Chains A and B, each alone.
Chain A
Amino acid sequence: MSVLKTEEMILNMGPQHPSTHGVLRLELELDGELIIDVKPHVGYLHRCFEKHCEALTYPQIVPYVDRMDYLAAMYNEFGYAVTVERMLGIQVPERVEYIRVIMGEFQRIASHLVAVGTYGLDIGAFTPFLYCFRDRERILSLFEMTCGARLLYNYIWVGGLSHDLHPDFLRLAKEFLPDFKNTLSELNNLLSYNKIFTERTANVGVLPLDTAINYGVTGPNLRASGLKWDLRKDDPYSIYDKFDFDIPVGQGWYGTVGDCWDRYYLRVLEMEQSVKILEQALVQIPDGNISEAIPKRIKPPEGQIYTRVENPRGELGYFIVSKGGLQPHRVKVHAPSFIHLGLLGELCKGHFVADVIAILGSIDIVLGEVDR
């Protein structure tokens, strides 16, 4: 009897695979069920964002930044506005800062709800997804009421906002928060502490802290590996110093620090902290004129600047080089999803094929931002 020939197998996952959250192709090198290497192939959604910016004036870029991380469009605008304001040296009115923080934190909750809900879906739990989308819908209605759009807002402008809040906004937002706290405890019972879910995610895809830093990982994924690093506190911008909130870090609740379950649960904890910020901001918000600081003509001085904000997915940074004209000379975006995807091969090595889905879902990427 002859010996059976064995060799490594190449398997393509995607570009149209439901768990890739967009258009992404993973080239898996397999030894039976074991992963030897994962090579992500990106670029299917490349829209030349950075090239477009060089032909647009500064205010015209705002709608374009929406389209990078389309699940957190408010925060993309927030970061862009902060960067250009620092270039110009503009101080924006207090009411504008408050509205930005309120919108930003609502956006963080909405974005994490998608992350958490679809993560359950990837693992095979359908119900939590519907609970998450029910509550996200209410946040999107709040956004729609404010600026007329549900996904891509063009709301936060350089120096101000496009509209003031709707008269009913504060009442409805305050009503939402207690309901949302109930959802979170329901979500924990349905998904977080579910035996099947913890078995699939605990001790899977462990990301040690030094590897995380070396790969430039930021945001919830870095905090899940145990470093207390949040730009809202560590590199402050806007008015986050006025609010009292904690930064949760991964503790290996069900397994090892930095495993998939930690990354998942950290997002749940972050939503609790966002609620805490919102509870304070919705009460403290002052009156004022939201459009008084919007400059008529934006022409920053010559030079370069890098500013970063804490996007729901990690550190979102804008590097802008100005030659003193009405258009930027170069815009480069520090896109957290792009960097986290670069780590995937390292995380998947030695796991089974089914774990690739669990790991990819737990690092929470948005392909619009990877490809820009």
Chain B
Amino acid sequence: MKTPQEIFEILKQKFGESVIGFADNKLLEFAIEIAPLAIAEVGYFLRDDSELLFDNLILLSALDDMTGKKVTEEDGSFRFEGGTLSVIYHIESTSSRHKIVLKVVVPKENAEIESVAYVWNHANWEEREAFDMIGIKFLNHPNMIRILMPYNWDAGYPLRKDYKNPEFYEGMKVPY
């Protein structure tokens, strides 16, 4: 069993620049921040290294950090310019019983992250959900399509903080 601090040291030594930092998220969790394009490589290492054996991805969650500049339109609606989105990976080892939190932050304009669906199969659907709800594109994902919303939904990503309901959906007025 290893502490998050020790795992951070191991990762830092192995991957250097790709491991950005040790972020304190207050309350109970510490997260290791990883570069967006290195996450799959780090994932393979964490899963297969004989001392770490992180075989279980507990949860993959995406969120809108709401860090951009708020621009208010004339009709009272608003949107955020710039800002970041982040994806948080909770992973654990069922044999050694240690767990850590990884974090990847990407700018909203260019939200692209390497997929970990081939590392942990569980990520396949979770990444589709993150794409559907927040609009993060996962590179090299086997099937990057919407999952909960209709496949032809073109009104944006509902869990972004500046999401607006469309006026019409398939010719029907919303709210009807």
In this assembly, does A321 line the interface, its C-beta being within 8 Å of a C-beta of chain B? yes
A316 to chain B, nearest CB (A): 11
Docked pose: A329 CA to B64 CA in angstroms: 9
Q: How far is the CB of A71 from chain B (nearest CB, A)?
A: 20
- Taking the complex as formed, is A301 at the interface, i.e. its CB lies under 8 A from any CB of chain B? yes
| Complex CA distance for A229 and B97, rounded to whole angstroms | 11
Asked if A371 is an interface residue, CB under 8 A from chain B, the answer is yes
* Contact in complex: A342, B124 (CB < 8 Å): yes
Encode B119-156 as 1/0 by CB contact (under 8 A) with A: 01110110000000100000000000001111000000
Q: Is the CB of B120 within 8 A of A306?
A: no
B90 adjacent to chain A (CB < 8 Å): yes
Say if the beta carbon of B57 comes within 8 Å of chain A.
yes
Chain B: CB-nearest residue to A209: B94
Interface status of B72 (Cβ within 8 A of chain A): no
* Cβ A302 vs Cβ B26 within 8 A: yes
Does A48 reach chain B (CB closer than 8 Å)? yes
Per-residue CB proximity of A196-223 to B under 8 Å, as 1/0? Answer: 0000000000000011011110000000
| Residue numbers in A under 8 Å from B149 (CB-CB) | 43, 46
B61 at the A/B interface (Cβ < 8 Å)? yes
**Which residue of the partner chain B has the closest CB to A214?**
B121
- Which partner residue on chain B sits nearest A87 by CB separation? B27
Q: Is the CB of A319 within 8 A of B59?
A: yes
CA A322 to CA B28, docked complex, whole Å: 12
Give the residues in chain A near B61, CB-CB below 8 Å.
319, 330, 332
B82 at the interface (CB under 8 A from A): no
Given contacts A87-B27, A304-B25, A342-B122, contact A334 B59 (CB under 8 A): yes
From the candidates A48, A211, A317, A338, name the one contacting B58 in the complex (CB within 8 A): A317
Q: Is the CB of A305 within 8 A of B28?
A: yes
Q: At the interface, yes or no: A285 with Cβ under 8 Å from chain B?
A: no
Q: Does A227 contact B (CB under 8 A)?
A: yes
B56 contacts partner chain A, Cβ-Cβ < 8 Å: yes
Which of B55, B66, B125, B133 is within 8 Å of A339, CB to CB? Answer: B125
Task: Please indicate the chain A residues that have their CB under 8 angstroms from the CB of B122 in the complex.
Answer: 214-216, 339, 342
Q: Which residues from chain A contact B133 at a C-beta distance below 8 Å?
A: 50
Structural contact, B63 and A213, CB atoms closer than 8 A: no
Q: In the bound complex, what is the Cα–Cα distance between A301 and B29 (angstroms)?
A: 13
Q: Are A213 and B150 neighbours in the complex by a CB distance under 8 Å?
A: no
CB <8 Å contact, B148 and A42: yes
A-side contacts of B63, CB under 8 Å: 321, 329-330, 332
